[in-house]
Structure 1
Amino acid sequence: MPTLLHLDSSADLTTSRSRRLSQAVVDAWLTADPTGVVVRRDLHRDPVPHLADSSLHWAPADRVEGSNPPAEAEELQRELVDELLAADIVVIGAPLYNFSIPSSLKAWIDHIHVPGVTSADTGSLVGRPVVITTSRGIAYDIGSPTEGWDHEVPALRTLFGGALGMDVHVITTSLTLAEREAALAPQIGRSEQELAEALSLATETGLRLAVATA
């Protein structure tokens, strides 16, 4: 049976669009293959701690002599890495927080990016699909004053696509603040359209990847 690892990192448990989009991918994947197994981690409700020791950045064989990370921290890292390696597809809800990655998601990343274990040169994750659903409060259009201010998606592409060698799919919706910020009110229509298009793409992506992971 194929396995999907579903992660969410939004602090908004009720109206989060990144959560809504990630769930749409998962729902479509399960619709296409009801035998699939979903492993769920809510990184906001049940946060992963920061790395307890710098030696955990490395595989045991590559650590500096004398390294002695806490046993419970090493066990948690092994659990997180094994969970990732066992997944046929990964779906991550990743809202843009202060122009970057939510700290809850970053802590998880610091645990699972281990050279010699999950890095692309090992082949352990190469070609495996990862879907990133991201929501942004404003727009970051080319040519606008905020162009290039989104430092989350480029970093996630570098990590998952470059360092881990995974097959990265990004689904984005912007202007999530349009309904609550007066200055953005003229763009409510665009906000709603982007969400509708993103939900459609999420469903399409889930269905398509279900065939690939069956």
Structure 2
Amino acid sequence: MATLLHIDSSVFPTDASASRTVTDAFRRTWQEQHPEGTVIHRDLATNPVPHISAHAHTAGFSDPATHTPEQAAAFAERVQLIEELERADAVLIGAPMYNLTIPSTLKAWLDNVVLFGRTAGDAQSVKGTPVTVIASRGGAYGPGTPREGYEYVQNYLSAILADFLGTDLGFIVPELTMAPVNPQMADLVPLFEASRERALEEAATKAKQLAQRLAA
């Protein structure tokens, strides 16, 4: 039975979050297509992981036999997160854009699971794992837009998840999510609605294809 690791990082509940709405659609379709499968859900907004500490960082570059009690305890928490990622057959990440980049809670999770010599570097223990990121954003930052140069979510996550970890990375991007609540963006509401519907369809399609592929 395949395991989906589902990570949300939006500070808002599903009914008020663009990224959670799409991750929820992905997950529901996955479970419909793959009822025998397992879903591990980490909500980083309600249950954040520890930010990387000096003990957790230095322990990753030293022999466990030499760890101090503080290093051992901090590194054990990292290992738990790393093993959870390594056991996943597929990963789903909700990554809304906050102030041009990802939420700090998601950055903390990444800092814990990126470990050179194991998940990153020459080893890449999660290499090839399919990862789908729901990269929601309030405006438009795609190629050719005025704010293209301010897109630090997909660029950053591509570097970490694809280049460092070697995963099979794909993005679904619901954008213009501030249009319904920002009067200055009122003219963009139809584009937002189209982007949302497209993202929901892409999520359902990708989840179905992935569940079928892993079940084969």
What's the TM-score bracket when you normalise by the shorter of the two chains? over 0.9
Give, as a single letter, the amino acid of the residue that structure 2 aligns with 1:107.
Answer: A
Distance 1:87 1:102 in 2: 22
| Equivalent in the alignment of 2:133 | 132
Change (3 A) 1:58 1:160: farther
CA displacement at 1:76 relative to structure 2: 1.1
Higher helix share: 2
| 1:56-205 matched pairs, under 5 angstroms | 56=57, 59=60, 61=62, 69-119=70-120, 121-205=122-206
Range 68-77 or range 199-208, more displaced: 68-77
TM-score under structure 2 length normalisation: 0.92
- Conservation of the 8 A alpha-carbon contact between 1:134 and 1:170: yes
Say which SS state the counterpart of residue 140 (structure 1) adopts.
Answer: coil
* TM-score (norm. length: structure 1): 0.93
Q: Which residue of 2 aligns with 1:208?
A: 209
- State the SS of the aligned residue for 1:78: helix
Distance of aligned partners of 1:189 and 1:102 in 2 relative to their CA distance in 1, 3 Å threshold: same
Alpha carbons of structure 1 residues 123 and 52: separation in structure 2 relative to 1, 3 Å? closer
Q: d(CA) in 2 for partners of 1:120 and 1:90?
A: 20
Distance 2:56 2:155 in 1: 26
Q: Counterpart of 1:21 in structure 2: which amino acid?
A: V
Secondary structure of the structure 1 residue equivalent to 2:117: coil
The structure-2 alpha-carbon separation of the partners of 1:57 and 1:16, relative to structure 1 and needing over 3 Å to count, comes to farther
Percent sequence identity over matched residues?
37
Q: Which amino acid in the other structure matches residue 3 of structure 1? A: T
Query: SS at 2:41's partner residue?
Result: strand
Whole-Å separation in 2 of the counterparts to 1:54 and 1:157: 27
RMSD, matched Cα: 1.9
Question: Given residue 2 of structure 2, which amino acid in structure 1 is its aligned partner?
Answer: P
Amino acid at match of 1:211: Q
Cα deviation code 1:2-34 (max 9, x no counterpart):
111000000011310101111111111111111
User: For 2:157 and 2:58, how far apart are their aligned partners in 1?
Assistant: 18
Q: How many residues align?
A: 213
1:112 to partner: Cα distance:
0.1
Equivalent residues of 2:2, 2:89 under 8 A apart = yes
CA–CA separation in structure 2 for the residues paired with 1:37 and 1:144: 40
Structure 1 residue ranges, 4+ long, deviating more than 6 angstroms after superposition: 65-68
Contact kept in structure 2, 1:81 and 1:112, CA below 8 Å: yes
Residue of structure 2 in register with 1:3 after alignment: 3
